[in-house]
Amino acid sequence: MFDRRALAKAITMVESTRPDHRLEAQRLISEALPHTGNSIRVGISGTPGVGKSTFIEAFGLFLCAAGHRVAVLAVDPSSTRHGGSILGDKTRMPGLAVHEAAFIRPSPSGGTLGGVARRTRESMLLCEAAGFDVILVETVGVGQSETAVAQMTDAFVLLMAPAGGDELQGVKRGIMELADLLVVNKADGSLLPIATATLADYASAMRLVRPRSPQWTPRAMLVSALTRTGIDAVWSALEDYRTALSDSGEWSARRASQQVSWFEDEVTERVLEVFHHDATIAALRNGIAEQVAAGSMNPSRAADELLRGWNGPGGARSV
């Protein structure tokens, strides 16, 4: 059963880099796994200031009122710079922060995108095991974190601000391709006309990008997170999306392939870890780097040279 403190502690374990904590985290994940899978995992992205937190507050409260349990996680590898956005996130979501059917976990501070992504995947599972059936993963729409989030969630919602034609031109096609749902926020007051025009622009731009799924044509819609209008339509669209993908088997196929990519990421990470902690490599590395810097060895040959020095984990020659 849901125990907020136990969940928070478990997430702290999976966020820790201490080797003994890693073992404990793996145990917790194994325990959680049989109780996972019964949720919808939604990535929510958008540029700073677009209204992600305000939207999640409105959307989360709407879902809680409808009987759901909502967990909010944040992926923000850049948060090292400002030491995490704990206060920011919680004060922007005052209602959700104190709601008994909601759980907000701010960005783990620091680390590589890969590390943050792994912790988020594990945290999602822990939240599911604790009985949360809607998992919202917030990420700032800069850098590569949205791709990582789109790959670990079921649905990807892209929030956009009302904007003129020039700004629209600047929106990267890559991010549009990720969106299952494009939501133009701030459709209120004096911004309403421009939001409406922006929606039309995006809707036609979206017709040019290849949809992620053959079962789903991405939709664009207007909301105001501030006045809480259009929020229910976002949820109905997500439910339609879930139905379309579930009926065709794509939902579970995607989750299966996400498990495999997670495994692949873990392998890559382990190999790198072992490699970087290898004594022979450490001894060779600087010397070879000096030759590269001096121009007496080309970087590509240097990499071969370094790998030749590696016996692999456990001493078995593997390269």
Interface residues with ligand GTP (CB under 6 A) are 46, 48-54, 92, 140, 185-186, 188, 191, 224-226
> Which residue number, 50 or 181, has a Cβ lying nearer to ligand GTP?
50
Among Mg ion, ligand GTP, none, the one that 54 touches (CB under a kind-dependent 5 to 8 A) is: ligand GTP
Residue with tokens 């034609």: 165
Which of ligand GTP, Mg ion, none does residue 218 bind to, with CB < 5 to 8 Å depending on kind?
Answer: none
Nearest approach in angstroms of CB 169 to ligand GTP is 21
Q: Which does 226 bind (CB under 5 to 8 A by kind): ligand GTP, Mg ion, none?
A: ligand GTP
Q: Which of 39, 45, 53, 151 binds Mg ion (CB under 5 A)?
A: 53
147, interface contact from ligand GTP, Mg ion, none, CB < 5-8 Å by kind: none
Sheet holding 155-160, edge to edge: 102-105, 70-75, 134-140, 40-46, 155-160, 181-184, 219-222
Task: Quote the CA–CA distance of 134 and 234 in Å, as a whole number.
Answer: 13
Least distance from C-beta 117 to Mg ion, angstroms?
19
CB of 34 to ligand GTP, least distance (A): 34
| CB distance 119 to 15 below 8 Å | yes
Structure tokens at 64: 């809680």
CB 133 within 8 A of CB 40: yes
Nearer to ligand GTP, 124 or 222 (CB): 222
**Residue 260 φ/ψ, nearest 5 degrees:** -65, -40
48 contact choice in ligand GTP, Mg ion, none (CB below 5 to 8 Å, kind-dependent):
ligand GTP
Query: Cβ closer to Mg ion: 76 or 188?
Result: 76
Residue 209 near which of ligand GTP, Mg ion, none (CB within 5-8 Å, type-dependent): none
Q: Nearest to ligand GTP by Cβ — which residue?
A: 51
With beta carbons less than 8 A apart as the criterion, state whether 35 and 126 touch. Answer: no
Closest CA relative to residue 146, chosen from 137, 134, 136: 137
User: Which entry of Mg ion, ligand GTP, none binds 46, CB below 5 to 8 A by partner kind?
Assistant: ligand GTP
Minimum distance, C-beta of residue 15 to ligand GTP, in the bound complex (Å): 20
Q: How far apart are CA 165 and CA 170, in angstroms?
A: 9
Residue 153 per-residue DSSP state:
S
Closest distance between ligand GTP and the C-beta of residue 260, in Å? Answer: 31
**Locus of tokens 């009122």:** 65
| Cβ closest to ligand GTP, residue 46 vs residue 60 | 46
Cα separation, 158 vs 145, whole angstroms:
13
134 beta partners = 40, 70
Stretch that binds Mg ion, among 26-34, 45-53, 109-117, 203-211 (CB under 5 A): 45-53
Comparing CB distances to ligand GTP, the nearer of 71 and 184 is: 184
Do 15 and 108 form a contact (C-beta atoms < 8 A)?
yes
DSSP 288-308: HHHHHHHTSS-HHHHHHHHHH
Binding site for Mg ion (CB under 5 A): 52-53
